[in-house]
Amino acid sequence: MSQGGARGAAKPQDRGWAWMVLLAAVLLQGLTLGFPSCIGVFFTDLQHEFQASNSETSWFPSIMVAVLHGGGPLCSILVKRFGYRFAVMLGGLLSSVGMVSSSFCKSLGQLYLTAGLITGLGSCFSFQAGLTALGHYFVRWQTLANAMASTGVSLGFTLWPLLSQYMLDEMGWRNTFLIFGGILLNCCVCGAIMRPVQLASGSLVQLPRPGEDSGRGAEEAQLSNGASSPHLKYQQQNRKTACFQVLQKYLAFDIFCQNKGYQIYTIGVTWMMMGFVLPHVYLVPYAIQNGVEERKAALLISIIGFINIFIRPLTGLLSGHRIFTGRRIYLFSLAVLLCGLSNFICIISAEFSVLIVYCVILSIAMSGIGALTFQVLMDVVEMDRFSSALGLFTILESITLLIGPPLTGLLVDITNDFHYVFYTSSFLLISAALFMGLSFCALEKKRNLKEASKVPLDNPSRYQYNDTTEPQPESQSTPAVVYVTSV
């Protein structure tokens, strides 16, 4: 399939079929990253159907979002072994199977497995492998292509809640989930569009080299045949070393221990994510409980997505200005702080007009977070280790995305007061913003003191946040897979 599909795709970068791939990437982001935004619409119905508490019901969207964000390293391995086209189409199939199966669930536990784990994993494969394909098709216009593709997330945030509420009113949640399974199959169509790129030499950039497979097979055969040889201990040691190298490749623990900037940023964002996701899960049920009509409550999430369509690109352009070079972390911390402070609007009043104001301010803050999250990470680590650093980054943030909503739901069950959702979110976001802002300020002062007593670096902005034992050499290599979250 890969060889035949690549014949007509020689040197397609930045022109021709690349724009069809970009269109497919926009659709993929809307179908995958945008999809969890509609789960809040079904929250109350699922609660009544399974007679479940807020904490038990919130595990469903938590598992989906956590797997969607945390499956990046697994997707990277899949892409390297089988190619991005296969990964996108497999993800679409898994997403569809998960949603169709969920329509027949008899318990929340079954829903966790089907719509949570299977659909979340499928969405992860489709989304992140689609970004990999985009990186192969665009070189000169890669920044523009990524910015345009990210509008799919905002479109998904806008359209999924409205569609969900309409279908829920017309046919119930089970039939809606069944139809969603059919809609998510369009990820397979997007994958079919993403033909493997063929270089001038005729080799496919996404396929592993034949020598790698044969070498791996020979090594495995040697290990199996040598089980009774005197070199067994040595071979086992080599196997452990290989496992360690794989972990270091996809999960950069060495960078986490040595690079103070990466350490601070990873801890701060991991803590932030526990509170960031809460309004997305509980805003609709909070509005419904306070007398807002269900259709209007679903509209609140759509307002957030609609504003994101326009504000996120503007935020990205603003942060790219040279005046903010080396200072993006402070913009990011300011956006997180604004996101935390905006939650107090919901605490003051639950009137629909007040909630609209809240959604506008929250969307502006979200746009800043979404535009800067990975830009700041690129400032913190060198590009030759970006992929592995991002693997650990997404794994850690997926843990807090998983436990945040259920723990807050337990608090709501105990107090029977939804205000604690926004109290908790505000505390987590504000504390994370202050931690990152003040820590990087202290780190910058420490770096300036070191530079005052040494010869200045040729390019100090390159090492703005990289407080390691030695400056790492700059590399022109790019990450194999770019992991992007729905923030």
The predicted-structure confidence for 1-38, as pLDDT tens digits, reads as follows 444 443 444 456 767 888 899 999 999 999 998 899 89
CB 180 within 8 A of CB 123: no
343 close to 430: Cβ distance less than 8 angstroms:
no
* Percent of the chain residues past pLDDT 90, beyond the cut: 45
Residues 6+ positions from 110 with CB-CB distance below 8 Å = 102
Cα dihedral 59, 251, 475, 382, rounded to 10, equals 60
Angle at 427 between CA 423 and CA 428, to 5 degrees: 120
At 96 the three-state DSSP class reads helix
Place of tokens 């045949």: 225
| H/E stretch holding 374 | helix 352-380
The helix (H) or strand (E) run that includes residue 26 is: helix 17-32
CA distances from 395 to 181, 266, 311 (A): 27, 10, 28
What is the distance between the terminal CA atoms of the chain, rounded to a whole angstrom? 35
Cα distance between residue 212 and residue 190, in whole Å: 29
User: Where do the domains of the chain lie, and which CATH numbers do they carry?
Assistant: 15-197 (1.20.1250.20), 250-451 (1.20.1250.20)
Which structure tokens are listed for 52? 């479940």
Count other C-beta atoms under 10 Å from residue 263's C-beta. 17
What's the whole-number average pLDDT of the chain?
Answer: 81
Contact 69, 400 (CB under 8 A): no
Using alpha carbons, select from 296, 416, 426, 311 the residue that is nearest to residue 355.
296
State the Cα–Cα distance between residues 344 and 362, nearest whole angstrom: 11
At residue 242, the pLDDT reads: 66
Residues 173, 42 contacting (CB under 8 angstroms): yes
Across-strand partners of 204?
A: 198
The number of beta carbons lying within 10 Å of the beta carbon of residue 258 is 16
Q: Tell me: the pLDDT tens digits for 175-229?
A: 999 999 999 999 999 999 998 876 544 455 544 444 344 344 444 444 344 444 5
**Cβ neighbour number for residue 76 with a 10 Å cutoff:** 25
pTM: 0.75
> Is there a contact between 206 and 84 (Cβ–Cβ < 8 Å)?
yes
pLDDT tens for each residue of the chain, 487 residues long: 444 443 444 456 767 888 899 999 999 999 998 899 898 899 989 999 999 998 999 999 999 999 998 888 888 888 888 988 999 999 999 999 999 999 999 999 999 999 999 999 999 999 888 888 887 888 777 667 777 888 888 899 899 999 999 999 999 999 999 999 999 999 999 999 998 876 544 455 544 444 344 344 444 444 344 444 555 555 556 666 666 666 666 666 778 888 888 999 999 999 999 999 999 889 999 999 899 998 899 899 999 989 988 888 788 777 777 777 778 889 999 999 999 999 999 999 889 999 999 999 999 999 888 878 877 887 888 867 776 777 788 888 899 999 999 999 999 999 988 899 999 999 999 999 999 999 999 988 888 888 777 655 455 444 455 555 444 444 444 444 444 445 5
User: What is the DSSP code string of 215-277?
Assistant: HHHHHHHHHHHGGGSTTHHHHHHHHHHHHHHHHHHHS-HHHHHH-HHHHHHHHHHHHHHHHHT
